[in-house]
Amino acid sequence: MRCPYCTEDNTQVVDTRENEEGDTVRRRRRCLACDKRFTTYERVELQLPLVVKKNGSRVDYDRDKLKSSMMLALRKRPVTTEGVASALDRIEDKLVQLAEREVASDRIGELVMRELKKLDKVAYIRFASVYRNFADIDEFSDAIREVKKPRVSRSRTT
């Protein structure tokens, strides 16, 4: 592994840990030339399907593009990067489980909305408003009603 600081090829693994799910390995490394430390992550590279866009064109699945879309909806919201990474992992797991060579972008959008709904209701509404191309305030209201939890009425008996 090349050092990101001095580009030396000679680095040493100092510590190795698996994440809780066991699908990612985190390695702390030390450059033997400049003695700086850095972290690398190792995970299985899955064969993900091609994404069929609305215009019929096909593009490779791009985790970074999906993450950017989610981060835009999550801007200034109290969601951890680990939460976003886990959501992306779940989306990719579902795409792999489909065992299809191609998947419509609409299907991916629905998976993203499902994950955002779990992570943060405001981000879900933000994403849905763009993804579903809300035309008027009634569509916003419908989406808000969809995520709003019904209040439980408490009655006191004394």
Handedness of CA 52, 55, 60, 66 (dihedral sign): negative
What is the SS3 assignment for 93? Answer: helix
Q: What is the pLDDT of residues 115-144, one digit of tens each?
A: 998 998 888 888 887 776 666 677 667 777
Residues in the chain: 158
Strand order in the sheet with 11-18: 11-18, 24-31, 37-43
When pLDDT is averaged across residues 61-75 and rounded to a whole number, the result is 92
On the question of pLDDT at 153 being above 90, the answer is: no
> Which residue did the predictor score with more confidence, 21 or 26?
26
Q: What is the pLDDT of residues 34-48, one digit of tens each?
A: 999 999 988 877 678
Q: What is the pLDDT of residues 84-98, one digit of tens each?
A: 999 999 999 999 888
pLDDT band at 27 (very low <50, low <70, confident <90, very high): very high
